[in-house]
Amino acid sequence: MIIELERGRQSTLDQIRDLAVRFGNRVELSEGTGVYDTVHIIGDSREFASRESYILGLPGVRAAWQPTGGYKNIARVVRGNEGKALHRERRVVEVKGLDGKARRFGGGKHIFVCGPDSPQTLEQTLATARMAREVGEKFGILDRVMLRGGAFKPRTRPTDWRGLGMKGIAIMDAAREETGLPYATEVMDHNLVEQIGAHADMLQIGTRNAQNFDLLESVGRFGKPVILKRGFGNEAEEWFYSAEYIANQGNLDIVLCERGMKTLYTKGGYCRNQPDLNACTFARKQTILPIIFDPSHVAGDHRIVAENLMAACGHLVDGSITETVHTEAWRREQLCDAGQALVMDQYSILVEAVLEYETHVVPKMR
């Protein structure tokens, strides 16, 4: 629900907030241009809206309306049935590291998420994590670097290696402990959200679970920041509705991630998935959420990861999630997605290219 409220009516705002909390909602306040501000009730606001006459009677309330249409919690422009529209700011999603620095997705600077597809050993994961930290230090962007590593792996073939589970999470914890960098990790089962979420700084929902609605809602209720990959067969708006499932539980800390689609053309084998870069631009226009790009799962081959990421930078993505390993030898030893990870030296060159693009080209495009 959207409420227009005279600026400075703090006690009415408090009453609205109390009611929102009672129904499991949160409030977002946007400053209007005139004397009215807009209060957006976040989450499933149907019960809240049933108190419309009470709300309209509060001092300073000019109007209250239920937005029409689809993904109201994450939409950039929320419309009401009388044609009223609320234009919202893009959201910044923050993930704090033990180093005390917040990685700010959507804060105007590219965020670099990197690390192994899956932690296999403590030694290898720590080596990769240290190198990620070194890259951050080298370019003075430590507050824009964080780790990835899936301990629970979705695999196409049931006999393939599926990750170390909670032992892998312990390895990611150790990498964070040593480097101070926060990490994101995939959760596949709604029953494990709390267990994994108690450790991870950011949860990841993979392409295969992009429409696992129980999982989306659990992650929404849990409330930690989440990377939501696009389902490889989903239309852009289906992806936004998946995000809406999370937001409807009151969690707006969602980072959308384009990771490529299965198409007729990917059958040729020259890339693993077809990137839909226009969807990145569409997501930026349609939703308030930050959007990142996964060049590794698009490419499926480390030799074309850089090209894909640079193309996505042209679509002004807010960051990237890239698989990295510390040496060529370890790339060969990977038990999952061997071949698509960049060794850290290559990654460092790519980071430099992204930073140059961000400094010299992006300002001319905005």
Binding site residues, ligand PEP, CB under 6 A: 117, 150, 154, 186, 206-207, 229, 259, 294, 297
In this structure, what token pair is assigned to residue 124? 């290898």
Cα 92 to Cα 21: distance, rounded to the nearest angstrom: 22
- Taking the least distance from each CB to ligand PEP, the nearer of 117 and 253 is 117
Nearer to ligand PEP, 16 or 246 (CB): 246
Closest approach, Cβ 260 to ligand PEP, in A, equals 8
**DSSP β-bridge partners for residue 343:** 325
Residue by residue, DSSP assigns 129-174 as HHHHHHHHHHTT-GGGEEEE--SS---SSTTS----THHHHHHHHH
Closer CB to ligand PEP, residue 124 or residue 207? Answer: 207
Pick from 307, 310, 311, 303: which is nearest to 340 by CA?
Answer: 303
- Nearer to ligand PEP (CB atom), residue 224 or residue 259: 259
Pairing mode, if any, of strands 319-325 and 342-343?
parallel
Q: Report in angstroms how near the CB of residue 304 gets to ligand PEP at its nearest.
A: 16
Q: Which is nearer to ligand PEP, 55 or 292 (CB)?
A: 292
Give me the least distance between CB of 321 and ligand PEP, in Å please: 7
Looking only at the bridges linking them, the beta strands covering 85-87 and 77-79 are: antiparallel
Residue 101 or 148 with smaller CB distance to ligand PEP:
148
The nearest distance, CB 61 to ligand PEP, in angstroms, is 44
Residue 55's nearest CA partner among 92, 75, 27 is 27
CB of 147 to ligand PEP, least distance (A): 12
Cβ proximity to ligand PEP: between 37 and 117 the closer is 117
Kindly state the DSSP code that residue 318 receives in the 8-state scheme. Answer: S
**DSSP-based three-state secondary structure for 271:** coil
Q: Cβ 307 to ligand PEP, closest distance in Å?
A: 18
E-assigned strand segments in the chain: 2-6, 26-30, 36-42, 61-65, 77-79, 85-87, 93-96, 102-105, 111-115, 145-148, 183-186, 202-205, 226-229, 254-258, 291-293, 319-325, 342-343
Q: CB within 8 A of 292, min separation 6: which ones?
A: 105, 111, 113, 227, 255, 256, 257, 258, 317, 318, 319, 320, 321
- Give the nearest residue (CB) to ligand PEP: 206
- Indicate the residue among 204 and 286 with the shorter CB distance to ligand PEP: 204
Least Å distance, CB 327 to ligand PEP, is 20
Give me the least distance between CB of 329 and ligand PEP, in Å please: 21
Tell me the H-state helices in 96-139.
122-138
In angstroms, give the least distance from the CB of 160 to ligand PEP. Answer: 12
Contact between 239 and 265 (Cβ < 8 Å) = no
Q: Which is nearer to ligand PEP, 206 or 220 (CB)?
A: 206
